[in-house]
Amino acid sequence: MRRLPFIAGNWKMNKTVGEALELIRELKVAIAHVKEVEVAVAPPFTALYAVHKELEGTSIRLAAQNLYWEERGAFTGEVSPLMLKEVGCQYVIIGHSERRQFFGESDETVNRKIKAALAQGLKLIFCVGETLKDREEAKTFSVVERQIEGGLRGLGDKELRNMVIAYEPIWAIGTGKTATPEQAEEVHRFIRGKMDKLHSRGVSEEIRIQYGGSVTPENIKGLMNQPNIDGALVGGASLKAESFSKIVRFKEM
């Protein structure tokens, strides 16, 4: 089964509108010739519309980093799926570990957000991953399994076709400690096997699973060589056109 590689840059709480436009302009040039890799960027909310305008005529996708599940109403500080669609988002990242750690998101709220995104026609990147303590206590598989079962509760094959899963071990995020390709592959294989149990064979073979956690131009190739690693969710290295474009161009290495 051939899955289209998908490289997404999660800018987190970085880049003013001016800085975002500068980065996108450089990136467009640096990856203009790249074919057969899907690329997305996830700027902060405030830069989405400007980046959307700058991306017109390119195949780079626009992603948001979060959403709220209601369409509108008295929810101070929140942003709805409808609003994200309107500013040009095709994707939204849901359940990132920083949202879970610092903003109290649970498998249940992640599930509500996933359903709301899909109902509005947004595709999504659904993040899972264990802490260092979980890994040391040999709980990696059980934690990831719980996150998948909870996050995907009530969803069928059709919904899964609009989703990408990102496996991001928390101990590897922003720490410079990447999982080895073999460590990542082991969990990716487990996730695909889990999808096979919960869903049809077609879906489990089609669904793309990204790796995230200190991905760099130096380690991307080894990760992408693994059979069940279909792309990357890149944080720090997505903030510069030079490093992000090298990651996108991993096939040229």
Helix (H, G, I), strand (E, B) or coil at 79: coil
Instruction: Provide the angle, in degrees to the nearest 10, between the axes of the packed helices 140-151 and 181-198.
Output: 40
52 is catalytic: no
Please tell me which residue in 105, 168, 185, 199 is annotated as part of the active site.
168
Nearer CB in complex with ligand PGA: 159/168: 168
26 is catalytic: no
Look at residues 31, 168, 174 and name the one whose alpha carbon lies nearest to residue 94. Answer: 168
Q: Which residues contact 36 (CB under 8 A, 6 or more apart)?
A: 4, 5, 251
Closest residue to ligand PGA: CB criterion: 235
Please tell me which residue in 96, 105, 130, 185 is annotated as part of the active site.
96
Residue 70, H or E segment: none
Closest separation in Å from C-beta 93 to ligand PGA: 8
Nearer CB in complex with ligand PGA: 212/231: 212
Closest separation in Å from C-beta 178 to ligand PGA: 8
Nearer CB in complex with ligand PGA: 174/227: 174
170, 173, 177, 181 alpha-carbon torsion, rounded to 10°? 80
Closest separation in Å from C-beta 84 to ligand PGA: 18
Closest separation in Å from C-beta 177 to ligand PGA: 9
Nearer CB in complex with ligand PGA: 27/215: 215
Q: Using CB under 6 A as the criterion, which residues of the chain lie in contact with ligand PGA when the complex forms?
A: 10, 168, 173-174, 212-215, 233-237
Round to whole Å and give the CA distance between 202 and 28. 34
Contact status, residue 214 vs residue 175, Cβ threshold 8 Å: yes
Q: Return the active site residues.
A: 96, 168
